[in-house]
Amino acid sequence: MSNSASERRSFGARLTQAMQDRGPLCVGIDPHPALLAQWGLADDAAALRTFSHSVLEATADIAAAIKPQVALFERHGSRGLGVLEEILAEARELGVLTIADAKRGDIGSTMQAYAEAWLADGSPLAADSLTVSPYLGFESLRPALDLAAETGRGIFVLALTSNPEGASVQHVGGQDSVARRIIEAVAQENSRVTAGLGSVGLVVGATVAAVARDLGIDLPGSFAPLLAPGLGAQGATATDMREDFGHAWSQVLASSSRGILKAGPSVEGLRAATLETISSLQG
């Protein structure tokens, strides 16, 4: 992002444009040990670099966004985080939006520090957007929400996730569920948006999107980009997602990781799998 914060378009506007130009796909960069082995790579920082650069080379000009899974870099310590810094910088130079999948969530000065690490201009870990967890209360996210707005970046708030334990928290309250209150808070953050997408998004699992209807949740009214992990390897298909998201489909940024990454290590194979997935989403 070469423009100053005052000149920069909002994250929501940039993501809207990217999805229109390239299709609604986010490619995960998830260097799982099993995938590294499948690619014939060791489980070390050097392999992370090879893996990540191959994914970026294959997808940076055709995907709307890329999403490094931060934990899989952190497990290699400072060397792994160094590779992540390189990938975020390279993605910025190549013009592809980044979502740091870090799921940060805390209170007070600690949340402020997380925000500065991932969302501040000049931070080596600065991404275009960050995933966050609201389960210490939505307002605990305020430092990240405010800094993202100030710097033209975005936030993706965990709302409806596909893990079996998620329902025990997110669905509590039925028609006044925890998830509904989180999504209504996001809608309030995006209340000035009249067209396109806001800069405060939601994470809604691709395999559980239909639950929103059961809980009386108005996803279209949130004006939120809907980051939807689970396409491909976790079982969701583009047809399923189109039906389950319904009127919110135009807001969906489908995320695929293993479904595409298993086509490596060939850059050509990764690119072909990415293009095939985009085609399925646009069909």
Q: What pLDDT does residue 235 have?
A: 80
Note the pLDDT of residue 195.
79
For 179-183, 193-197, 239-243, which range has the lowest pLDDT when averaged over its residues?
A: 193-197
Instruction: Supply the pLDDT for residue 7.
Output: 62
Q: What is the C-alpha to C-alpha distance for residues 20 and 138, in angstroms, rounded to an integer?
A: 30
In one-letter notation, the amino acid at residue 29 is I
Which CATH topology does 11-282 take? Answer: TIM Barrel (3.20.20)
The whole-angstrom separation of Cα 141 and Cα 173 is 22
196 confidence band (pLDDT: 50, 70, 90): confident
Pick the catalytic residue from 8, 53, 92, 103. 103
Q: Can you give the pTM of this predicted structure?
A: 0.96
The rounded percent of the chain whose pLDDT value lies above 90 is: 93
The span from the CA of 32 to the CA of 14, in Å, is 29
Nearest to 180 by CA among 127, 217, 133: 217
pLDDT digits (tens, 9 = 90+) for 36-76: 999 999 999 999 999 999 999 999 999 999 999 999 999 99
The answer to whether the CB of 143 falls within 8 A of the CB of 107 is: no
- Give catalytic status of residue 262 as yes or no: no
What pLDDT, on a 0 to 100 scale, did the predictor assign at position 199? Answer: 98
Q: Per-residue confidence at 211, pLDDT binned at 50, 70, 90? A: very high
> Phi and psi (nearest 5°) for 258?
-60, -35
**pLDDT at res. 108:** 97
Over residues 223-263, the pLDDT tens digits come to 999 999 999 877 889 999 999 999 999 999 999 999 999 99
73: nearest Cα among 55, 46, 54: 46
pLDDT tier, 193 (very low <50, low <70, confident <90, very high otherwise): confident
In this predicted structure, the answer to whether residue 3 has a pLDDT above a threshold of 60 is no
Across-strand partners of 69?
Answer: 101
Q: Please name which of 188, 190, 202, 193 lies closest in space to residue 252, comparing C-alpha atoms.
A: 202
Q: Which of 202, 246, 254 is nearest to 67 (CA)?
A: 254
| pLDDT score for 68 | 98
Give yes or no for a contact between 31 and 51, defined as CB atoms under 8 angstroms apart: yes
Indicate the domain borders of the chain.
Answer: 11-282
What is the arithmetic mean of pLDDT over 79-101? 98
